[in-house]
Chain A
Amino acid sequence: MQTYTVLIIDDHPIIADAYKSALLKIASENSTIDFSIEMATTCDAALEKINSKKAIDLIFLDMKLPKSSDGQFLSGEDLGIEIRKQLVDAKIIVATTYNDNYRVNNILKSINPEGFLIKNDITPMDLIAAIETVVEGTPYYSKTVLKLLRSHINNDFFLDKIDRQLLYELSIGAKMVDLPKVIPMSIGGIERRKRQLKEIFDIQKESDKVLVELAKDKGFI
């Protein structure tokens, strides 16, 4: 009989409750496994648990969280990075409603979670499967994440963080003049990057809209 310490970080109690239900269901069906469940609905509560140096085996992490009171942690993503630092052995299952490639990609890069669930993808059965798989030590990605990874493998070219950010900002309709505020580059530099991106996608003469659509197709955003 093995007992896993589980931390559920989600600001929606109903969702946290769902995770809890899933864990209990696993425990009830598998007599060798038991879960010690703790909850945190805010960044601050979660940080307290993390910093307590108590070993945690599994962490459910929501991406959309209100920021911490000291303003250091703006989202679940920042919290995930902190967890990786503090609790090296903890397995993280990210559950998010974001399903755009840019965000997903960023989360993969920054947290590299053992389980990556896009909330809309999964059914209760999928959730149980995901927990079981991760507990066994195998990563579990829901289908949207898998699709993204597949398209990445097919791509020949490499886009760095700034390229992705630029494409993302364009996709949400940001104006060129506003971009230097969010991307640490001059307007000229951003222009150059954009031209390079168009060359990479071989659409030199097309508009930004085409670029954004193509980048979406290729799974970059």
Chain B
Amino acid sequence: MNTTSYNKNICSNFLFGIVLILIIGCTSKNDLQINEDATLNDSIVLLINKSKVKTGTVEERKGNLLRAYKLNKGQENDSIKNQTLLKIASQANKLNDSIFFRRTNKEAFSLSFKLKDTSGIARTHWQKGVFYSKREVIDSSYYHFYQAYKNYKLVGNEFNIGRMLYNMAFIQGRIEDFVGAETNMFKAISIYKKLEKHKKLYACYGFISSIYRDMEEYDKALFYRNKAKFYLDKFKDSKNYKEGYLNSLGLIYQGKKEYKKAISYFKEALSNDSLYYKNTKRYARLKDNLAFTRLLSGDTINVKKELLASLKIRDSIHNILGVLINKLHLSEYHLMQKDSSTAFSYAKDAYVIAKEATNHRDLLASLVLLSKTDVPKTSVYLNEYIEEGAQLEKHQRRLRNKFTRISFETDEYIEETNRLSAQQTIILVASFSLLAILSLLYFMRLQRSKNRALQSEAEQQQANEEVYKLLLKQQAKLEEGRLNERHRISEELHDGVLGRIFGTRMGMGFLDLKGDDETKAKHQLYVDELQEIEKEIRVISHELKNELLSGKADYIQVVEHLVQEQSIVTGFEYKITDDDSVHWSMINDAVKINCYRMVQEAVQNINKYAQAKLITIHFSVNDSVLTLSIKDDGIGFDITKKSQGIGLKNITARTKKINGTFVISSVIGEGTLLSITIPLADTTI
């Protein structure tokens, strides 16, 4: 159920949002709307205020309130509407229009629920509490005050928490649950003290005092009454409460049987001339109390007259409970005057009224009086008294139990909710952490596989480089062998063959030939030819040695082989050259390997993107700096736009590794030039 209402809330919030957007969407209309709203709100407030004016008839006031309600009903479901609705319900309660109150309060409750307005919910409970309290439905009243209290606690409204505690204590006092009442009242007091609500504190202490008076602990009652007095002096309109205070004080002393003091306090209160007009009810009460105290003190003069005057006033203002007490007092008076029949009739009246008003305390008092005045039926009355007392006791116990249950059940409910929400939290946290752990595991696994891939890649690269190193070494060895062989051939030609031809030529030259001139000339020709052959062999021998000077072929060959393999893919032409200044045998392997790999990367890139027809690769050394340039005549690209691909990144990484620098320039449609410069450390030259 919770979830569905929550969904409804979301729904309404969503609708509310849409409405808001619509309102914001049309500005011209918007201003108008606001104005209309303003006037409408004004008129609603006006109508509510009209319903509060006490000069109008009840029907008129109810009519105004109904009109206010109807106007408010057309409003948007927002917090303003809710507040107005709450005011209307409160006013309906004050006007005792129970049906209208129930309707409006219920609407206010559901709207508050929709708006998640906890204060509003508390307020509806409070009003309901007041409603039931008025109608003596004590348990329901207590329940609603308690609910209001809990809700105010949720929103932390201290003042209203205090007020609810006071209300609950008041109700508990009514069923003589004095302990509960006192506990709640002191809770309220501690809150009021913090907030410095003196008037409320006065009321609280006054109430505690009256509890103790009811329990006939007059000293304590006096103590708290004085505390109340302390706060009474602190607030502004304390004058209006002075008589009430004096009355209570008088009653305490009456209870203490210090009649003189009691009488003096009652008299002091009555000395205020305007009291009759300002608070007729209190005036009548004081008058009654004064007369009855006097009666108790043994002074019967004018007591009957005073009591009757008070009764008359109370009758006129329909103060039923006052009338009831008055009649009891009159019965008491006549009993003391031994006028049993009159006493009986007053007691009987009081009994009837008390029964009607379900005022147990006074009902019991009337039964006592009846038993005293109607002697023949004494036992009947006493039986009823006992029964009534027992019933009252039972009733009160039941109510007390109910109150305890209400708080207990609520507490239990809250506890259950807490438990459930805690459980929910645990589940939520657990699932989140599980998710987090799972994703962590996943990422770790991902990372690990990535690392593994990187590692294997690095290993692969290292292996490649080792293979390449071996390749180079092999190439170098091959070259060395080749060189050695050439050297050997050269030496052999020079020292062996050449020497022997020389010897032969000389020998032939010294031969004393016997023959004709032609033969001799021919002989000389052959000898000269031998000398030419010698020269040729010498040149060949030298050339064989001379080529030893530039042992460059090996590295360039390796690079050429690589480029040649790549050229098969897109069929580009290539030219690989190096300056005579580059002595490959003197450049260390790291530089050579990196150059080789960079050429590989570059050529792969060219194959992939450039659509080149010719690639020119050139190596040169200047001031101990090796420059490798790789040029293509492809489509080129915008260097600023394109983010670096893996190929260029690798080239950058490689140049960094050997402290080189790397420049790329490209013209769209004309091609790209990679220029890599590598400083050669002195020892490698």
What is the interface of chain A, defined by CB distance below 8 A to chain B?
12-19, 21-22, 24-25, 62, 64, 97-99, 119-120, 123-125, 127, 171-173, 175-176, 191, 205-210, 212
* B277 part of interface (Cβ distance < 8 Å): no
Q: A64-B499, A119-B498, A173-B548 are contacts. A25–B510 as well, Cβ < 8 Å?
A: yes
CB of A123 within 8 A of CB of B509, answer yes
Contact of B550 among A25, A64, A205, A209 (CB under 8 A): A209
CB of B535 within 8 A of CB of A120, answer yes
Q: A14-B504, A120-B534 are contacts. A209–B499 as well, Cβ < 8 Å?
A: no
Instruction: Produce 1/0 per residue, B561-601, CB < 8 A to A.
Output: 00000000000000000001101011000000000000000
Instruction: Produce 1/0 per residue, B427-445, CB < 8 A to A.
Output: 0000000000000000000
Residues of A within 8 A of B503 (CB): 12-18
Residues of B within 8 A of A98 (CB): 494
Residues of B within 8 A of A207 (CB): 580-581, 583, 621
Q: A18-B510, A120-B535, A208-B583 are contacts. A97–B549 as well, Cβ < 8 Å?
A: no
Contact of A173 among B483, B509, B527, B623 (CB under 8 A): B483
Residues of A within 8 A of B509 (CB): 18, 123-125, 127
Q: Can you list 23 A-B pairs with a CB-CB distance of less than 8 A?
A: A12-B499, A13-B503, A15-B500, A17-B503, A18-B505, A19-B506, A21-B506, A25-B510, A62-B499, A97-B499, A119-B499, A120-B498, A120-B531, A123-B509, A124-B509, A124-B510, A127-B506, A172-B545, A173-B549, A207-B581, A207-B583, A209-B549, A209-B550
Residues of B within 8 A of A17 (CB): 503, 507
CB of B506 within 8 A of CB of A124, answer yes
Task: Please give the distance in Å from B521's CB to the nearest CB on chain A.
Answer: 15
Bound Cα distance from A173 to B544, whole angstroms: 12
Residues of A within 8 A of B621 (CB): 207
Bound Cα distance from A176 to B551, whole angstroms: 13
Residues of B within 8 A of A21 (CB): 506-507, 510-511
Residues of A within 8 A of B545 (CB): 172
Q: Determine the residue in chain B with the shortest Cβ distance to A205.
A: B623
Interface of B (DSSP majority class): helix
Task: Please give the distance in Å from B579's CB to the nearest CB on chain A.
Answer: 8
Residues of A within 8 A of B535 (CB): 120
What is the interface of chain B, defined by CB distance below 8 A to chain A?
483, 494-495, 498-500, 502-507, 509-511, 527-528, 531, 534-535, 538, 545, 548-551, 580-581, 583, 585-586, 621, 623, 682, 685
CB of B506 within 8 A of CB of A64, answer no
Residues of A within 8 A of B498 (CB): 97, 119-120
Bound Cα distance from A176 to B684, whole angstroms: 10
CB of B583 within 8 A of CB of A99, answer no
Task: Please give the distance in Å from B531's CB to the nearest CB on chain A.
Answer: 7
Residues of B within 8 A of A64 (CB): 495, 499
Task: Please give the distance in Å from A189's CB to the nearest CB on chain B.
Answer: 14
- Identify 5 new A-B residue pairs, CB closer than 8 A, beyond the known A12-B500, A124-B505, A172-B548: A18-B509, A25-B510, A64-B499, A124-B527, A208-B583
Bound Cα distance from A21 to B502, whole angstroms: 14
Q: A173-B551, A175-B585, A207-B581 are contacts. A97–B506 as well, Cβ < 8 Å?
A: no
Residues of B within 8 A of A62 (CB): 499
Task: Please give the distance in Å from B592's CB to the nearest CB on chain A.
Answer: 15
Q: Determine the residue in chain B with the shortest Cβ distance to A28.
A: B512
Bound Cα distance from A120 to B534, whole angstroms: 7
Bound Cα distance from A22 to B583, whole angstroms: 49
Residues of B within 8 A of A212 (CB): 549
Residues of B within 8 A of A22 (CB): 506, 510
Bound Cα distance from A119 to B535, whole angstroms: 10
Rank and list the top 7 A-B pairs by shortest CB-CB distance, nearest first: A124-B509, A18-B506, A14-B503, A21-B510, A15-B503, A173-B548, A119-B502
Residues of B within 8 A of A15 (CB): 499-500, 502-503, 506
Bound Cα distance from A21 to B512, whole angstroms: 10
Residues of A within 8 A of B504 (CB): 14
Task: Please give the distance in Å from B221's CB to the nearest CB on chain A.
Answer: 116
Q: Determine the residue in chain A with the shortest Cβ distance to B541.
A: A97
CB of B507 within 8 A of CB of A209, answer no
Bound Cα distance from A22 to B508, whole angstroms: 11
Bound Cα distance from A123 to B548, whole angstroms: 31
Bound Cα distance from A207 to B504, whole angstroms: 43
Bound Cα distance from A99 to B542, whole angstroms: 10
CB of A120 within 8 A of CB of B502, answer yes
Residues of B within 8 A of A123 (CB): 509, 527-528, 531
Task: Please give the distance in Å from A2's CB to the nearest CB on chain B.
Answer: 22
Bound Cα distance from A98 to B494, whole angstroms: 8
Bound Cα distance from A107 to B214, whole angstroms: 148
Task: Please give the distance in Å from A32's CB to the nearest CB on chain B.
Answer: 20
Bound Cα distance from A51 to B509, whole angstroms: 34
CB of B506 within 8 A of CB of A175, answer no
Bound Cα distance from A18 to B503, whole angstroms: 6
Bound Cα distance from A62 to B498, whole angstroms: 13
Bound Cα distance from A85 to B78, whole angstroms: 131
Q: Determine the residue in chain B with the shortest Cβ distance to A24.
A: B510
